[in-house]
Amino acid sequence: MTRAHIKPTLCLLLLFMILMLPAGLLQAQSAGPVVRAVLVDGEITPAMAAYLTGQIDLANDEGAVGLLLEIRTLGGQVDAAIQMRDAMVASSVPVAVYIESRAISAGALIAIAADTIVMAPGSHMGAAKPIPDDPKTVAFVSGEFRSTAEKNNRDPQIAMAMVDETIAIEGLVAAGEILDMTAQEAKANGYADHLASGRAEALKALGWDSATLVQGEMNFRHRIAQFLSSYTVASILLTVGMLALIAELFTPGFGVAGTIGIISFALYFTSGYLAGYTELWSAAIFLAGIVLIIIEIIVPGFGIFGISGLIALVVGVVFSAPTVGQGILTLMIALGATVAAIPILIKLFGKSRLIQRMVLSHAETVANGYVHTRTERDLTGQTGVALTDLRPAGLVRIGSERVDALTEGGYIARGTPVTVVHMQGTKVFVTTRDEPESGS
């Protein structure tokens, strides 16, 4: 690096360090009562949960008179919403939510967890049926809604009806439907304490209008993690990484595909690390899995490296996700897309040297000196030499005969001395032997 580049680089590093500071440290200290405002906008992710937990800690540390969550979300990951719910319930500072437009699915749980709910006219909340909607998952999520409602003295049946379509409430929701309440319905049923048009009116209704409002902001780290930890983005990153890795194996040397794969995997694991739910060991196991699979492809063997590599990949992905279930689902999507793309890659890059090492790509014909025979004689115990690579099928010479033979699952290279271990009908099974065949 030249001296001309040092100053700009240091400036960029300084800017990055400033952006990584918690947002609360960048806020000026205010005299008098303080209300901290936090925006819950977009998909509920582990990164958002980490951000909200930090903001609640700041509100408690600075002795704020209240914490206002402004909600506009269609939901997101249930585990992240539960983490946010737990942080709100544990807060010593009163927590209020202002639903500007909608608090759907996981967002409804966050709203119910607040001490006070304020809704804007035209807003709505509910529709929290989980996906998948098997009985176990529905019971679990319904229990979270019920216990949260009971904690804040709200009708638990209404909360459960947002999740479980078997619950009917006269005049509100019929059986077979999921409850989604308008602001007026919520107010009439005790799920909205106030209606307010705008944040200023909401603060006045809460009695916080005379306090100094401190707006919490996501720092650079949280913004990056929020985007990358989105369920959709995480699935795309893992899929692109696997496809790029496969494409790199089909092409000679290290090129664009390999670079894209490394970047995709790095972003996938970095998002989880920044959001606080991924440990470095899971990324290390995933990397080890890739290395083992490459070794299996390059070095013929009995599949030990390949099987170990696949297990490592699964463990790395599953345990780097917020939950085991989400990790399995993300992995299945990525593997499905990868398997579907392999025939296309073979068609495009099937002539690569690596693929020729992986599969037998040339015909062994009479013109090339290969003449095979089937034998019904018992050749068990006889010795010979492999005339072709056995993967596991190939040709061997037993005495003066050329015979089709099979290994018992392993790989035998051309020219290797072999012994016939047993026969099944006309099938000849061979294994390697230590001493070379004389005259071979």
Q: Average pLDDT, stretch 183-210?
A: 95
**What is the pLDDT, as a whole number, of residue 220?**
67
Nearest-angstrom CA–CA distance, 200 and 43: 25
**What CATH number is given for 366-432 in this structure?**
2.40.50.140
Contact 169, 158 (CB under 8 A): yes
Strand partners, 439: none
**What is the pLDDT, as a whole number, of residue 275?**
65
Contact 97, 118 (CB under 8 A): yes
Residues 6 or more apart whose CB falls under 8 angstroms from that of 272 comprise: 46, 229, 234, 278, 320, 321, 322
User: What single-letter DSSP state applies at residue 171?
Assistant: T
Helical packing angle, 46-61 and 78-90, nearest 10°: 10
Which of residues 436 and 40 earns the better pLDDT score?
Answer: 40
Q: Average pLDDT, stretch 243-249?
A: 74
Phi-psi region of 439 (alpha: psi -120 to 50; beta: other; left: phi over 0): left
pLDDT value at 20 more than 90: no
pLDDT value at 231 more than 60: yes
**What is the pLDDT, as a whole number, of residue 22?**
46
Strand partners, 104: 126
Nearest-angstrom CA–CA distance, 134 and 139: 9
Nearest-angstrom CA–CA distance, 269 and 321: 9
- The number of residues in the chain equals 440
pLDDT value at 158 more than 80: yes
As a whole number of angstroms, the longest Cα–Cα distance in the chain is: 102
At 251-298, the pLDDT tens digits run: 655 567 778 888 888 888 877 766 666 677 887 888 888 788 777 666
Q: Average pLDDT, stretch 371-387?
A: 74
Local confidence band at 438 (pLDDT 50, 70, 90 cut-offs)? very low
Strand partners, 385: 397, 417
Nearest-angstrom CA–CA distance, 187 and 173: 16
The structural domains of the chain, with segments of one domain joined by +, span 31-218, 222-358, 366-432
At 124-150, the pLDDT tens digits run: 999 999 887 889 989 999 999 999 999
- Is it true that the peptide bond before 132 is cis, omega within 30 degrees of 0? yes
**What is the pLDDT, as a whole number, of residue 23?**
42
For residue 398, what are its two tokens? 């037993």
Chain position carrying tokens 């693929």? 355
pLDDT value at 14 more than 50: yes
**What is the pLDDT, as a whole number, of residue 47?**
81
Nearest-angstrom CA–CA distance, 62 and 65: 9
Nearest-angstrom CA–CA distance, 335 and 132: 20
Radius of gyration of the CA atoms of the chain, in A: 32
Nearest-angstrom CA–CA distance, 383 and 360: 24
pLDDT value at 365 more than 60: no
At 89-121, the pLDDT tens digits run: 999 999 999 999 999 999 999 999 999 999 999
* Per-chain mean pLDDT for the chain: 80
Contact 418, 433 (CB under 8 A): yes
Nearest-angstrom CA–CA distance, 358 and 391: 9
Ranges 42-46, 86-90, 252-256: which has the least confidence? 252-256
At 294-339, the pLDDT tens digits run: 776 666 555 677 778 778 878 887 777 766 767 777 778 777 877 7
**What CATH number is given for 31-218 in this structure?**
3.90.226.10
Q: Average pLDDT, stretch 167-182?
A: 93
**What is the pLDDT, as a whole number, of residue 366?**
46
pLDDT value at 436 more than 80: no
The rounded percent of the chain whose pLDDT value lies above 90 is 36
